[in-house]
Amino acid sequence: MSILLLVAPVHPQEAEAVADDALMGLWDRAQAQGEDLVWRACADIEQVTDCLAGREAASVDLVLLDVDADAIPEGQVAPLRRALNALSVPLIEIHADSRAGDLATISPAHPSLVSVTTPGNPAAGYEMALSIGLRYLARNRQLAA
């Protein structure tokens, strides 16, 4: 597995719509570039934290993360910060709301490569983040060869 896309439960109806309409297209694009893409729609921030701290995130090359830092309950900030700080791979943030808080406010020790914001259009955000991620991975692999 090389790319993990984690979606927080802030706007579950948007995540479902994107999953139904665009997930296969995202997966196809990743496959066409020789990359695997795994989508996880998380039920809550605790599940996002568990995914980031688990084996799945440890086995990827890149994480795409749709989480609004301002929507994280106070009691879950510290565990999420620990999971982000321990993450050994780059991270790209995705926001469908221009007022969403960046995760750098929670985890300045592991800032994202880029924060993609597409107000009102989560599908475009996922598409853009994947494009950036695929380019990043291809470039890194090219440099490593």
| Pair 30, 63: CB distance under 8 Å | no
pLDDT of 13 reads 56
Q: What percent of the chain has pLDDT over 90?
A: 43
Which residues, at least 6 apart from 30, have a Cβ–Cβ distance to it below 8 Å?
2, 3, 36, 37, 130, 134
Q: What pLDDT does 121 receive?
A: 83
Give the model confidence (pLDDT) of 82-103 as tens digits.
999 999 899 999 988 777 777 7
Identify the CA nearest to 102 among candidates 62, 69, 77, 64: 69
CATH 3.40.50.9100 fits 3-144, yes or no: yes
Query: What is the per-residue pLDDT across 100-136, written as a single tens digit (0 to 9) for each?
Result: 777 778 887 778 889 998 888 888 899 999 999 999 9
Domain range list for the chain: 3-144
Distance of alpha carbon 74 from alpha carbon 134, whole angstroms = 33
Q: What is the pTM of this model?
A: 0.88
Contact status, residue 78 vs residue 21, Cβ threshold 8 Å? no
